[in-house]
Structure 1
């Protein structure tokens, strides 16, 4: 299924091994990893298409289904349960309705999704007609070539999804020493949807308008040093490779998208943002969980995103300029009576559809223990 700007293999929980080690072997074999082309499996040889969603019955009373997200390594034999993918989560409601896991209600069905990676409830509204979730519609998502039916996602209940706190360090801004620079730079760590560490692109000597393949290896090395520092500050496992997300932030400026056929104007966006990954890759669009976190961070005084935006006023729709275009996320962030920041509301729109279904053939030899 495609969800937003990503694709994933969707599996029923009943069809996958329950033993963690057996599950890891199964998923690597299914995707054809490790192999840079994933030629002997279902993986798409790209971080946006080497994803898996495992769907099962709800394990808590306030949910309709359980959803476990898995990021499968491409050239490395890694199987990560670190994060929730916001793009792929948009397809879970469509899948649940098509599989008749919950009844269809017209003109729209609200699906309560328990994400097992974070222990949070995601709510999505799926448009329906003629007893099925709608696929065709007039909703556009930059990074997806065709329009589709709207899936509205509500991430309001995902504060502290990774670390347990909206501001994991208790501050809107921290300082970290970067060895290649020989000095400290300011960063912001925010956790809603997915924990992210935000870095001023200019502090690493770039603009934030760069596209995949245009950043030098030194930029990725510095960003990874920051991520490891942030993971330590957040008490996250040192073995993790994805969280916190590393996000470069720059002020709003004109840039050409990855397709080369569109110039995003500075007036269309609040800032530019690029997600970079350990190993030298850049997200070709922008992660759903990361966009939720960024929209919230932009409304917290003192953060790197609020500085780039030039304001922290809200509630409002934050417009994020990414390599494939623009994504808008509505957020409402406020202070409590105790002067603590709290997320009142955060939601966004994606499209999703089933691409195929059938039987996958997994090499039995790869499932066996050496």
Structure 2
């Protein structure tokens, strides 16, 4: 018996992340078989993911499963999967905004959608959220363009722009733009012995926004500079939101935990640039349970943050100093600045409607080939966690 199975794979960069792209027909449909397959493919659980394709980082342990559209208003289906690194977890909770930018490029290169020059719009049905995302891809000579003058902080050089339209993604996780019904709530944090204000907003990806100062930090810290108690407090807030909004208790990623502070100068993770307070509307850091910080900023999180910044009473609007819009919100993150346009309409009270959300990324195919997955890993009965 052949001890390994062959799997066609493509490695794509989308924004500040990388993901293994798989065709839907190459992925097991049974949930437990799919869990074992993805863990084996990525070499998880292992802090180095040395026996698989994982990059040993939350930004590179990602998978995109692409299939034919399951609804008439889409060109393709896209399922995003976050693979655990040192834990045997496989999460279908969220849509990755950075990786979604690569789905349109992939669809055109795979001839799943006909190329139209100079720009092809690909309608992407994200199965994680049930929402339609629209990708405007620059094309020339029958192919998506690679070279261009679009810059993404956290990605070296420049590339061809991919414009993402997330205007129809309100309530992606909870069904409501303001899941608790208000712009601000108060949550008791055990380590502080008191309540702190938070804002829960759901567009693109559900997020809970926390003032960095309330946790005793400046908000300009970089990955590796926060103590474990900060992550523990942020996780306690996340669990409160999960219970308050009736989200699955098995989830490990949602809502995103975003630390917010007022605009201030800070040095980027690369150390070669100081972001000036005049360049940004506020500083933001995404943290995850277990002690990890996003090295840039998640695309879905940026969608949510740009909208939250235009809703009166939220933590981001407070840090920005105004909720005036529509406008391009400038997010200061560990790798630089991310700019995202949002237009939010106020209907009175806590009634807010998202009219537009747009941002740009660059994306590129990095590798095509065959992965070899050990059959013994697929037949094992070891435990893993799906969420």
User: If the length of structure 2 is used for normalisation, what is the TM-score?
Assistant: 0.95
Q: What displacement does 1:176 show? A: 0.2
Q: 1:236 aligns with which of 227, 234, 247?
A: 247
Residue equivalent to 1:361: 372
Structure 1 segment 324-363 matched on structure 2, within 5 A: 324-336=335-347, 340-363=351-374
Partners of 1:204 and 1:97 lie apart in 2 by: 45
Asked if the contact 2:182–2:350 (Cα under 8 Å) also holds between the matched residues in 1, the reply is no
2:290 to 265, 268, 279: 279
1:214 and 2:225 equivalent?
A: yes
Kindly state the Cα deviation for residue 339 of structure 1 after the two structures are TM-superposed. Answer: 6.4
Residue 233 of structure 1 and its aligned partner are, at CA, apart by 1.1
Q: Which residue of 2 aligns with 1:296?
A: 307
- CA-based RMSD: 0.8
> 1:155-194 to 2 correspondence within 5 Å?
155-194=166-205
Task: Name the residue aligned to 2:3.
Answer: none
Q: Return the alpha-carbon distance in structure 1 between the equivalents of residues 205 and 290 of structure 2.
A: 20
Distance (whole Å) between structure 2 residues aligned to residue 182 and residue 339 of structure 1: 29
Larger RCO (CA within 8 A; separation ≥ 6) = 2
CA distance in 2, matches of 1:234, 1:97: 38
Structure 2 partner of 1:10: 21
Among 232, 235, 240, the residue aligned to 1:224: 235
Shift of 1:337: 7.1
Secondary structure of the residue aligned to 1:63 is coil
> Using the alignment, how far apart are the partners of 1:338 and 1:33 within structure 2?
47
* Structure-2 separation of matches of 1:326 and 1:232: 33
Q: Which of 146, 156, 160 matches 1:135?
A: 146
Task: Report the Cα distance in structure 2 between the residues aligned to 1:15 and 1:62, rounded to whole angstroms.
Answer: 24
Structure 2 unaligned regions, length at least 5: 1-11, 382-387
Superposed CA offset, 1:201-220 (max 9, x none): 00000011000000011100
- Counterpart of 1:317 in structure 2 is 328
Structure 1, 98-107 or 233-242: larger mean CA deviation: 233-242
Q: Distance in 1 between matches of 2:380 and 2:333?
A: 43
Larger displacement relative to structure 2 (35-44 or 334-343): 334-343
| Gap regions ≥5 residues in structure 1 | none
What is the CA distance between 1:369 and its match in structure 2?
3.9
Distance in 2 (CA, whole Å) between partners of 1:4 and 1:162 is 22
Look up the match of 1:100. Answer: 111
Aligned equivalents of 2:46, 2:220: Cα separation in 1: 30
